[in-house]
Chains A and B, each alone.
Chain A
Amino acid sequence: MSKPESSNVRDLLFGNLWDYSPAPESADHVTIKPRYGHFINNKFVDGENYFQTINPANEQVLSELATADAKAVDAAVQAARKAYDKYWRPMSGAERAKYIYRIARMIQEKARELAIVETMDGGKPIKESRDVDVPLAAAHFFYYAGWADKLDYAFPGSKPTSLGVVGQIIPWNFPLLMAAWKIAPALAAGNTVVLKPAESTPLTCMLLAEIIQEADLPPGVVNFVNGFGQTGAAIVNHPDIDKIAFTGSTDVGKIIQRSIAGSRKKLTLELGGKGANIIFDDAPIDQAVEGIVNGIYFNQGHVCCAGSRLLVQENIAETVIAKLKHRIATLRVGDPLDKNTDVGAINSREQLNRIREMVAVGEAEGATKHESRCVLPEKGFFFAPTFFTGVTPSHRIAQEEIFGPVLSVLTFRTPEEAIAKANNTPYGLGCGVWSDKGSKLFKVAGALQAGIVWGNTYNKFDPTSPFGGYKESGFGREGGVHGLLPYLEVR
């Protein structure tokens, strides 16, 4: 590939010659109740205090939810314990599977409603909640339903048994999908659940609660409690919980690990990341650019396995950066409910401030900022797709997770240097490798300390594929047959 002379590079004009008319998905038929209590024993129970959840795209209040204190959490755990002893443990795997299949089918039936609520509550574009989050959530239930009566064959030579009551705490970036990742294997393995959604995105879990009600699961098998860190702590520290599964920040993960030390509780953690997306000079360049975009601007970059560090071979860096500039000019940022929106709203004001702060750090440390010239809506929390060039491993924006649509571009010269740079992080969750040469791709992939390595693609998810971290990105796997292990005692 010949390098373009920089003085010769012509700009493409991505203007509004033929602009798409607004195409908002209608939210008319969606019912969000004005308030939701704790969901315990298949019933919504009033709480004492309530907090509000807003639409980050327009800052309007959508609903309010009961804050679960230690007492409410205890009620949920007791319900789960009773359901475990009375219904779920004695039930055959085939019977459990029927319930899980039913949940999967009902998610499909209510897919449209779930997608709209997910987008309203979290800010992600409707095309993602419609095409990724909701179908994958259903797929996880379908997949694990299939395992429920085959556990004896999952780990040959051993006798797997359920653990009991599991406490699960999930993040705000993929609310329904994370609930599915947590609940489906737990139920298939024969456990009962107390789950806390994130405080900024509780609504699709409340719709899932209604589905569980309607699916007529035995009362207490799945319970939801809402709230902030204190609610999470009450779950983590509850003496009658057998296992904690947490997805969220590395800081909180460390606190959880400390607090359950010395207890009988098992633990899986899926934490932060600073994924490297490695582009070799023999890569399919235009498709790699799509992979870069998908790696960092998918879900506004609120993805723990995001490809937030682009490692590009020096001899093609100029070409790749020029292409990336053109590509982000076509990303449509705005109303998440519009079917043509590519990048939606940042999940919360707090997160927006964090992103702004990190971008300011990048500028102060001397990296060069490039941002898309899109017009951002006046209301709501939005951030233009951005990337930094001239980044080295000592820049903070190359080390710390930004969790927003901000990419750091670094260069490398040899495969060894690419591997060393990719692994030069406390994290180890997702990585991408782009090369047309299979032998190189597999060699590099094998040397990366990351739980997930994508070859010539990025951010692809499937229930059959295990997902999880190395190093400070956590431990334990979700998805696939591996995803059953954390919910089983294998003897």
Chain B
Amino acid sequence: MPDKYQPPRVPAIDQISVEERAASFTTRSIKKEAKLAGLKLTARMIDLTTLEGSDTPGKVEMLCRKARQPGAGCPPVAAVCVYPTMVPIAKRELEGTGIKIAAVATYFPSGQASLSERLDEVRRTVEIGADEIDMVISRGQFLAGEFGKIYDEIAATVEACGPAHLKVILETGELQTLDNVRLASQIAIDAGAHFIKTSTGKVSPAATMPVTLVMLEAIRDHFVKTGKMVGMKPAGGIRTSKQALHYLVMVKETLGDAWLDPDWFRFGASALLNDVLMQLEKERTGRYHSDRYLSMS
């Protein structure tokens, strides 16, 4: 089967023009009511994340508490994103809140394990309560041109997810070219991904606006062709509200209103939430307060 796989035909990408277009979204001036609404929407779209070797139950509890109650005037976030071992802790802490539990499975972040091991991990993780699985593709196989294997692994993971939603991490920092990003996006979408996601956060560069734009365009073209919506999650490197608002502008002007929703757009981030809180406070009082007033997470 894999050798018969024909990779999808995707349009060529001109890197210079993509960078220009991505930069054009950053010149939008977002003030007053629009800024306030954008900040709250940003908070609602955050997958509050901790993916450290040093994560402990206590740290995940702290994160879940922050996810439920980030601060005055700030809505809860969309999801908490953790390693599979932490899913039971998160489940206990988030029961009944509507906040989703996302877990990085498939031997995150390297993806270097056999397919059956990776699928086993996905099944186990869903069984213990994950609502969403963030998988990584085998970049090595992609770069070696084994697109059929990539397709198969994603399709198998979608199946292994059962009721859980699957976010497919392309690790665009390792794919490097925008042509690769576009092709990988299309393969993931064709294989049934619910979301496509830029990065693990463990590779630099993580999410960038040009990369995200190319992925949004893949999502758009797929929707126009088939009527099927796919979600988008840039992850890593988005630390400020200003950056987040630039991304929202890009979503609004590329995919339209339907994607301005946590069901279809997420930020994979940890530091971003406190910057949103800081900005919300500034909108409320007219001045910035010290970050000593912000709870850590």
Q: In the complex, which residues of chain A have a beta carbon less than 8 angstroms from the beta carbon of B18?
A: 286-287
Q: Which of B13, B29, B32, B220 contacts A12 (CB 8 A)?
A: B220
Decide: B17 and A18 in contact? CB cutoff 8 A.
no
Instruction: Using known A-B contacts A18-B248, A283-B12, A457-B17, determine if residue A322 contacts B224 with beta carbons closer than 8 Å.
Output: yes
Q: Which of A9, A14, A131, A339 contacts B256 (CB 8 A)?
A: A14
Query: Please, could you name 29 A-B residue pairs with CB atoms under 8 Å apart, sorted by A?
Result: A4-B225, A8-B225, A8-B226, A8-B227, A9-B225, A10-B226, A10-B227, A12-B224, A12-B256, A13-B258, A14-B252, A14-B257, A15-B256, A18-B248, A20-B28, A20-B30, A21-B31, A21-B32, A21-B35, A23-B29, A283-B11, A284-B14, A285-B12, A286-B13, A287-B13, A287-B18, A290-B17, A456-B14, A457-B16
Q: In the complex, which residues of chain B have a beta carbon less than 8 angstroms from the beta carbon of A23?
A: 29-31
- The reply to whether the CB of B124 lies closer than 8 angstroms to some CB of chain A is no
Q: In the complex, which residues of chain B have a beta carbon less than 8 angstroms from the beta carbon of A201?
A: none
Decide: B12 and A284 in contact? CB cutoff 8 A.
yes
Report whether over half of chain A's contact residues are helix, strand or loop; otherwise say mixed: loop
Decide: B256 and A20 in contact? CB cutoff 8 A.
no
Q: In the complex, which residues of chain A have a beta carbon less than 8 angstroms from the beta carbon of B217?
A: 286
Cα separation A478 to B179 with both chains bound (whole Å):
37
B263 to chain A, nearest CB (A): 14
- The reply to whether the CB of B59 lies closer than 8 angstroms to some CB of chain A is no
- The reply to whether the CB of A93 lies closer than 8 angstroms to some CB of chain B is no
Instruction: Using known A-B contacts A18-B41, A21-B33, A290-B17, determine if residue A10 contacts B224 with beta carbons closer than 8 Å.
Output: yes
Cα separation A322 to B220 with both chains bound (whole Å):
12
Q: In the complex, which residues of chain B have a beta carbon less than 8 angstroms from the beta carbon of A286?
A: 11, 13, 18, 217
Q: In the complex, which residues of chain A have a beta carbon less than 8 angstroms from the beta carbon of B21?
A: 287, 290
Residues 417-452 of A at the B interface (beta carbon under 8 Å): 436
- The reply to whether the CB of B114 lies closer than 8 angstroms to some CB of chain A is no
Cα separation A463 to B31 with both chains bound (whole Å):
35
- The reply to whether the CB of B1 lies closer than 8 angstroms to some CB of chain A is no
B50 to chain A, nearest CB (A): 29
Interface size class of A (residues with CB under 8 A): 35 or more
- The reply to whether the CB of A17 lies closer than 8 angstroms to some CB of chain B is yes
Interface size class of B (residues with CB under 8 A): 35 or more
Q: In the complex, which residues of chain B have a beta carbon less than 8 angstroms from the beta carbon of A16?
A: 257
Decide: B11 and A18 in contact? CB cutoff 8 A.
no
Decide: B28 and A2 in contact? CB cutoff 8 A.
no
- The reply to whether the CB of B115 lies closer than 8 angstroms to some CB of chain A is no
The digit string for B1-24, where 1 denotes a CB below 8 A from any CB of A, is: 000000001111110111011000
Q: In the complex, which residues of chain A have a beta carbon less than 8 angstroms from the beta carbon of B35?
A: 21
Decide: A284 and B34 in contact? CB cutoff 8 A.
no
Q: In the complex, which residues of chain B have a beta carbon less than 8 angstroms from the beta carbon of A48?
A: none
Cα separation A209 to B77 with both chains bound (whole Å):
57
The digit string for B25-48, where 1 denotes a CB below 8 A from any CB of A, is: 001111111110110010000000
Q: In the complex, which residues of chain B have a beta carbon less than 8 angstroms from the beta carbon of A285?
A: 11-12
Decide: A1 and B252 in contact? CB cutoff 8 A.
no
B178 to chain A, nearest CB (A): 9
Decide: A18 and B14 in contact? CB cutoff 8 A.
no
Q: In the complex, which residues of chain A have a beta carbon less than 8 angstroms from the beta carbon of B11?
A: 1, 283-286
Decide: B257 and A17 in contact? CB cutoff 8 A.
yes
The digit string for B246-281, where 1 denotes a CB below 8 A from any CB of A, is: 001000110111101000000000000000000000
- The reply to whether the CB of A378 lies closer than 8 angstroms to some CB of chain B is no
Cα separation A456 to B34 with both chains bound (whole Å):
34
- The reply to whether the CB of A127 lies closer than 8 angstroms to some CB of chain B is yes
- 3 tightest CB-CB pairs across the interface, nearest first? A287-B17, A23-B29, A436-B12
B37 to chain A, nearest CB (A): 6
Cα separation A284 to B32 with both chains bound (whole Å):
37
